[in-house]
Amino acid sequence: MNGHIIPGTPIAVDFWKKRDCPSAKFFFLTHLHGDHTVGLSSSWQYNIYCSAVTSKLLTEKYGIKDDLINVLETGSSSIIYLDDEKQEQMVVSVIDANHCPGSVMFLFEGYFGKVLYTGDFRYCDLMFVDTPLSNCSDIDILYLDNTYCAPECIFPTREEAIEKLIKLIQEHKDHRIIIGMRNLGKEDLLVQIAEITQEWISVPSSMYRTAEILGLPNVFCIEDNECKIRVVPFHTVNKSNVIGWNNYEPTLVILPSSLYCGLGCIPFEGIPNFHIVPYSDHCSYEEICTFVERVKPKFIYPVVNERQRGGIFGKLSDRSDLSCLNKYLSKEQSVKFTIPKSVKRFMSLPMNTYMRKVSRQKNKAAKYHY
């Protein structure tokens, strides 16, 4: 699970194990990928703050009740009270994370200083153009997407990866094309492939429904074997299936993923008609360095917990060691704070007591968003 409790606050981000965080009262969701929603289900009873796109997907895919979802507009800031006495407040700013549909970063500003939580993201210059990050300085703590935080994690821009992928498809005109993908993300890539090749793309029904929710162009059909280009679940792309598909008819199999970058191994090596194109929704190491240098935080914590890694990837503990980024940190002293009494009391409230208060005050609280 890639979630955290912001120390000394009632704020939880991508953290859904309520029994492990009784003091948390405000739950923020950066995006809807599975490793950021562990513990979240239709039985969830507490308020969630997220982007508009994520709110639609939450209702559709997790059955979360509408009245529990608080939509925060991407690119804007909102005021949220941190106690039930309305004595302490914070400003929450939302930045597009350029990762998957609905993904955002959260910038929290309050008695605790300034905390920037990236969730998963892919760096781009536009993050600092007319956004809450444009004039942001004095970041005390940065929670950073460290998925590829190692010097050997080198891969191309999305644009370069798309060019390579399209070229592969165009060089195999007599082949069926199979693309392995996960449930959410890379929908824009598929749209570009469809529009450039002028081919329909067959997708699983769940992905088709996601495309409908996102309002994507009409380039998809549901599990149609007549389509030249077909999307299959990522985990079904293995040596046995690649060989089987090609025994039936010439088939080009593509994994648009940077998952194996920096591991020193080449999966599926030697298998004909199989290609990994390092298309990534995360930052390369160079992009991580550029982002941290621009933000200049005083402290950095990794979003991805090394203990969550396993299998062929091992612990990858080097990617949780962020000392390689120390040279980009601010030399200024971080904010030392005391938890306000009203917030401390609020954090100690049983959750059922808190929820009754929220239920009575929710309509009034809406006026504090802008």
Architecture of domain 4-151+283-368 in this structure: 4-Layer Sandwich (3.60)
Instruction: Detail the DSSP E strand segments found in the chain.
Output: 4-5, 11-13, 26-28, 48-50, 69-71, 77-81, 89-96, 104-110, 113-117, 141-144, 176-181, 201-203, 220-222, 229-233, 251-256, 274-277, 299-302
pLDDT at 307: 55
CA 18 to CA 39: how far, in whole Å? Answer: 8
What pLDDT, on the 0 to 100 scale, is given for residue 363? 41
* 78, β-bridge pairs: 92, 369
Domain boundary assignment for the chain: 4-151+283-368, 158-277
Record the tokens describing residue 68, joined without a space. 């529990």
Regarding beta strands 48-50 and 229-233, do their DSSP bridges make them parallel or antiparallel, or are they unpaired? unpaired
Cβ neighbour number for residue 264 with a 10 Å cutoff = 7
> How far from the centroid of its chain's Cα atoms is residue 131's Cα?
18
CA distance 303 to 2: 6
Longest dimension (CA), the chain: 70
> What is the layout of strands, in order, in the sheet containing 69-71?
4-5, 11-13, 26-28, 48-50, 69-71
Q: What pLDDT, on a 0 to 100 scale, did the predictor assign at position 368? A: 37
What pLDDT is stored for residue 316 in this prediction?
A: 56
pLDDT in tens, the chain (370 residues): 689 999 999 999 999 998 888 999 999 999 999 889 998 999 999 999 999 999 999 999 999 999 999 999 999 999 999 999 999 999 999 999 999 999 999 999 999 999 999 999 999 999 999 999 988 878 999 999 999 999 999 999 999 999 999 999 999 999 999 999 987 789 999 999 999 999 999 999 999 999 999 999 999 999 998 999 999 999 999 999 999 999 999 999 999 999 988 887 777 778 889 999 999 999 999 999 999 999 999 999 999 976 544 444 544 557 888 999 999 999 888 778 999 999 999 999 987 666 655 554 554 444 333 3
- The yes or no reply on domain 158-277 and CATH 3.40.50.20 is no
